[in-house]
């Protein structure tokens, strides 16, 4: 079986080669992202393997179908870059629902600690033998309140980590998890209560029409002064202009972003020799209380192994049995199922 692998990075290959050989899948690695211009490269392949910033819109899906591609294997959990309604009934779509919630949750805490204890500043100073402590005062996490939006796999691991630090948790989820609210240190509340009472807010919900720009000017207005905003989920959950305004007005005390709405042409690439055209991102990065990492939260050896193994077993399992538990969109299904959400 032959699979065209788009948006290849050096760290992808070792684990995909290992599991590809083990399960008899031949990957052809393309550095380019999948989009309407590059979809033709998939000619002659049984499927494509794509990541978060590949474009899988209606036009691309039609082109993939035209060249005989039967499946799209997402090597990620989120699928907001796929036009699922269009895919339904046309092509199979698999994903890796969880590769390491620990990787993302731990990176979120790493960003938070780096930011509030000014580790990023201290690191640079001490390399220059500047051992002054002025301007490095942080605050204790113990006793603080963290608002966690999205209490799925990653959100719940992050809550466990925060509880280990002695923090109180206010949680919000459209579909609250059974048994998480203990009426004391972890409580489900409405969004407005979360905004009003959280010292730190961390986003762990998917990007949907409903959650798009959920952190906007209005939401920031409702927050406590000095709130720390953490986003390791999807960039467009945050209105970056509003965040920048909140930082400038000192309403937002700090922001840690592993994702950014306009990241697709920038993140994962070395742009150090280029002039950054995105003024909002440039201004955010210039702020002393903003930390940006480039969609790195998932990047652990453990997660890369899980991603490759699950992607390969999704494909092989599907061809063996005609079914895959990680299929998002069933090619043979009907549009009504898709509209009602039954297909994913
Ligand atoms: P999950 O599916 O286990 O949990 C998502 C939670 O969000 C669910 O409990 C769901 O009920 C909730 N939710 C759905 N709609 C909501 C809404 N309107 N308001 C509030 N909550 C809502 O997903 P998981 O594995 O925890 O991942 C969360 C997000 O993390 C993913 O959607 C993805 O965007 C992001 N992610 C980021 C990575 C990175 O490297 N930065 C890596 C992997 C995932």
Cβ atoms of 99 and 298 closer than 8 Å? yes
CA end-to-end span of the chain? 25
In degrees rounded to 5, what are phi and psi of residue 74?
A: -75, 130
Residue linked to tokens 């990620």? 76
The pocket around ligand 1, CB under 6 angstroms, is made up of 77-78, 98, 101, 104, 149-155, 172-175, 204-208, 210-211, 232-234, 258-259, 295, 297-298
> Which of the residues 234, 261, 309, 327 is marked catalytic?
234
| Atom 36 in ligand 1: residue holding the nearest Cα | 233
The tokens describing 139, both together, are: 């605050």
Our mutation pick for probing the ligand 1 site, out of 75, 81, 148, 150, counting the most ligand atoms within 8 A of Cβ, is: 150
Dist CA 289 CA 220 (whole Å): 16
Ordered domains of the chain (ranges, CATH): 2-99+301-340 (3.40.50.720), 101-292 (3.40.50.720)
Determine the 3-state secondary structure of 256 from DSSP. strand
C-alpha 259/C-alpha 311 separation (Å) is 23
Q: Helices (H), strands (E): how many in the chain?
A: 12, 13
> Which pTM value belongs to this model?
0.89
Phi-psi region of 143 (alpha: psi -120 to 50; beta: other; left: phi over 0): left
Handedness of CA 30, 35, 41, 44 (dihedral sign): positive
DSSP state letter for 177: P
Element holding 13 (H helix, E strand): helix 13-23
Q: Which residues of 205-231 are buried (b: 16+ CB within 10 A; e: fewer)?
A: bbbeeebebbbbeebbeebbeebbbbb
Backbone angles phi, psi at 237, to 5 degrees: -70, -25
Identify whether the C-beta of residue 90 lies closer than 8 Å to the C-beta of residue 82.
no
- Smallest Cα–Cα separation from 308: which of 4, 12, 5, 51? 12
List per-residue pLDDT tens for the chain, 344 residues long.
999 999 999 999 999 999 999 999 999 999 999 999 999 999 999 999 999 889 999 999 999 999 999 999 999 988 989 999 999 999 999 999 988 999 999 999 999 999 999 999 999 999 999 999 999 999 999 999 999 999 999 999 999 999 999 999 999 999 999 999 999 999 999 999 999 999 999 999 999 999 999 999 999 999 999 999 999 999 999 999 999 999 999 999 999 999 999 887 888 889 999 999 999 999 999 999 999 999 999 999 999 999 999 999 999 998 888 778 899 865 454 444 444 444 44
Catalytic residue check, 295: yes
Q: Spell out the residues 6+ positions from residue 337 whose beta carbon is closer than 8 angstroms to its own.
A: 88, 330, 343
User: How far away, in angstroms, is 182 Cα from ligand 1 center?
Assistant: 22
Closest CA to 296 of 6, 3, 4, 9: 9
Bridge-based pairing of strands 327-329 and 92-94 is antiparallel
Residues 6+ positions from 126 with CB-CB distance below 8 Å: none
């Amino acid at each position: 079986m032959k699979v065209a692998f788009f948006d290849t990075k050096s760290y992808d290959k070792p684990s995909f080669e290992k599991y590809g050989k083990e399960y008899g899948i031949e990957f052809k690695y393309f550095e380019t992202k999948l989009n309407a211009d590059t979809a033709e490269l998939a000619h002659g392949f049984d499927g494509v393997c794509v990541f978060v910033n590949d474009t899988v819109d209606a036009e691309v899906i039609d082109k993939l179908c035209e060249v005989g591609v039967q499946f799209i294997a997402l090597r990620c959990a989120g699928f907001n870059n796929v036009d699922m309604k269009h895919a339904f009934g046309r092509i199979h779509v698999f994903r890796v629902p969880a590769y390491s919630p620990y990787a993302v949750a731990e990176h979120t805490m790493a960003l938070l600690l780096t930011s509030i204890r000014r580790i990023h500043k201290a690191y640079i100073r001490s390399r220059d033998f500047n051992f002054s402590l002025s301007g490095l005062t942080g605050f204790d996490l113990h006793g603080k309140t963290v608002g966690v939006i999205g209490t799925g796999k990653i959100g719940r691991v992050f809550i466990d980590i925060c509880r280990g630090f002695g923090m109180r948790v206010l949680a919000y989820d459209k579909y609250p998890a059974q048994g998480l609210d203990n009426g004391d240190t972890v409580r489900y509340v409405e969004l407005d209560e979360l905004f009003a009472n959280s010292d730190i807010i961390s986003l762990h919900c998917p990007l949907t029409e409903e959650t798009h720009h959920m952190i906007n000017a209005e939401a920031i207005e409702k927050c406590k002064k000095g709130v720390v905003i953490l986003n390791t989920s999807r960039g467009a959950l945050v209105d970056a202009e509003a965040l920048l305004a909140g930082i400038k007005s000192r309403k937002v005390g700090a922001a840690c972003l592993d994702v950014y709405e306009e990241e697709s042409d920038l993140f994962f690439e070395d742009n150090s020799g280029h002039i950054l055209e995105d003024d909002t991102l440039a201004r955010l990065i210039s702020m002393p209380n903003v930390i940006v990492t480039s969609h790195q939260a998932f990047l652990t050896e453990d997660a890369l192994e899980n991603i490759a193994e699950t992607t390969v077993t999704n494909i092989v399992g599907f061809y063996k049995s005609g079914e895959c538990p990680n299929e998002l969109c069933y090619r043979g299904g009907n549009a009504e199922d898709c509209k009602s959400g039954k297909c994913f």
